[in-house]
Amino acid sequence: MKLMINGTDRFFDVPLQTVDELLHELKLGHKMVIVEHNEHILQKHEHPQAELQSGDRLEIVHFVGGG
């Protein structure tokens, strides 16, 4: 499966069906993130139902703490 994430093509051997599965694959499932899927900003409760298809475009922003 090919997805464009933050402007970069990424290829996944594992079939990913939802945004929630993608976040777990990227090890971001436990972090606070903002996800834009094909130019639509998703609410967190939409991640498990937001279906992925090869060629989808995503922007994923996660917060990093610091001081």
Q: What is the structure's pLDDT at 67?
A: 62
Quick: pLDDT tens for 3-61: 999 999 999 998 899 999 999 999 998 888 999 999 999 999 999 999 999 999 999 99
CATH of domain 2-62: 3.10.20.30
Q: How many helices (H) and strands (E) does the chain have?
A: 1, 5
Q: What is the C-alpha separation between 24 and 3, in angstroms, rounded?
A: 15
Q: Residue ranges per domain, the chain?
A: 2-62
pTM: 0.89
